[in-house]
Amino acid sequence: MMKTLHKYDVIVVGGGMVGAALACTLGDAGLKIAIIEGREPVMDWPTDEVDLRVSAITRASEQFLRELGAWQAIADERVSPYSEMHVWDAGGSGNIHFDCAEVGEPNLGHIIENRVVTRALWQRLSGLPGVQRFCPATARRLTLRNTIIGCEPPTNPVQLELDDGTVLNASLIVGADGGNSWVRNQAGIDISTREYAHTALVTTVKTERHHQYTAWQRFLPTGPLAFLPLTDGYSSIVWSTTAEEAARLEALDEALFKAELAASLEHKLGAITELGPRAGFPIRGRHARHYVKPHLALVGDAAHTIHPLAGQGVNLGFADAACLARELIQAWEQDDTPGSLKVLRRYERARRGDNLLVLEAMGGFKQLFGDPSPLVRGLRSAGLNLVDRLPVLKNLFIQQALRNDAPRA
């Protein structure tokens, strides 16, 4: 038998970093929220174990997490601030160096394991009485009742049935369920796809020389290699390359892989002394043609996925969550329907253009640094060196990265 529960204001499908952050923001404001997640979040792990999946959290995202009351739990666990960034081109002479001291900031951001952020957000959710968690649970059927112009909106415009027969009713459903979003597919929202022809090979290493709290990125002919600083001198590796090259690297024995990895960074940090497990993740860009429909919205990877070379994916998702929450809370406080199209379109107008700009920029960078022609190599080297020599222009890049257009909820 199906069990119908009380009506919610918003159902959030997806309890990862972006979905959990959105649920926290809305629940803290007093809205009644249901959050659906298929797998129990990892809440405990050995102290010496480092997650393969990490994110470069900008200062703007840090502020957002502080406002949610989740940052302290993250900081108490394990965060790795970085104060500098070195970027250079293997195919030319171009290089650029960013330093937080140049703009009077204590750091450029933090490298944080994804599970650390997720756990802090779920701990925060547990303290919000207006948020009900359904986990593990899987959405099975979505029904959207259309609003007829000139008529009162339906009492329960969203009806979601879970795999155990539970039925949830709400004014709005939000898809925060990743790049292969079930909610997006159920809504019939098309996506445009950019095939980067890249796989991200990730691992964790310790190096002969300390990383100096610096993010190191070298653009190789097959794709960018990043060493992202972690605690205790460890670094998270994100090596974006062709699928064939990633498979070859993943299959190398430990000694050969260590040697090739150190050489690919030009031994900037010396030899690789410790190596963790390796895993590969295909990369592709996606962008939803629409972020909203009546009583439905998409955030984070459900709306857009980008190349990881600049580490902006989750920061764009947090900006989505903050912006959508702001619009929904304002509508709720004014006794407006949170799921109405006029409310949701304000969110879409605010976020879609910015996300598209970043998506196109990352695709452009990938093409620019992957072009082997001597003319393009010369132009990109000249461009990097020019930016590095012009403090005003370089500081503009730093400020943009720190700000990331993340509005407050």
Q: Would residue 292 count as lying in a domain?
A: yes
How confident is the model over 137-144, as a mean pLDDT? Answer: 95
Q: Would residue 399 count as lying in a domain?
A: no
How confident is the model over 255-272, as a mean pLDDT? Answer: 97
Asked if residue 404 lies in contact with residue 257, where contact means CB atoms within 8 angstroms, the answer is: no
pLDDT of 379 higher than 70: no
Q: Would residue 240 count as lying in a domain?
A: no
SS3 for 9-78 is: EEEEECCCHHHHHHHHHHHHCCCCEEEECCCCCCCCCCCCCCCCCEEEECHHHHHHHHHCCCHHHHHHHC
Please give the tally of structural domains in the chain: 1
For residues 166 and 98, which has the higher predicted lDDT (pLDDT)?
Answer: 166
Q: Would residue 197 count as lying in a domain?
A: no
User: pLDDT tens-digit profile of 292-351?
Assistant: 999 999 999 999 998 776 667 899 999 999 999 999 999 999 988 889 999 999 999 999
3-state SS, residue 78:
coil
In which domain, by residue range, is 314 found? 3-82+110-192+284-372
CA 129-131-132 angle, to 5 degrees, is: 105
Q: Would residue 47 count as lying in a domain?
A: yes
Residue 401 has which token pair? Answer: 């990265």
Q: Would residue 336 count as lying in a domain?
A: yes
Q: Would residue 263 count as lying in a domain?
A: no
- Of 358, 300, 290, 310, the C-alpha closest to 20 is 300
CA 361-96-285 angle, to 5 degrees, is: 20
For residues 207 and 108, which has the higher predicted lDDT (pLDDT)?
Answer: 207
Q: Would residue 254 count as lying in a domain?
A: no
Asked if residue 68 lies in contact with residue 17, where contact means CB atoms within 8 angstroms, the answer is: no
User: What is the reported pLDDT for 100?
Assistant: 87
C-alpha to C-alpha distance for 114 and 16, rounded to whole angstroms = 9
- 356: CATH: 3.50.50.60
**82-86, 249-253, 354-358: which has the minimum mean pLDDT?**
354-358
User: What is the reported pLDDT for 149?
Assistant: 45
Residue 33 has which token pair? Answer: 């929220």
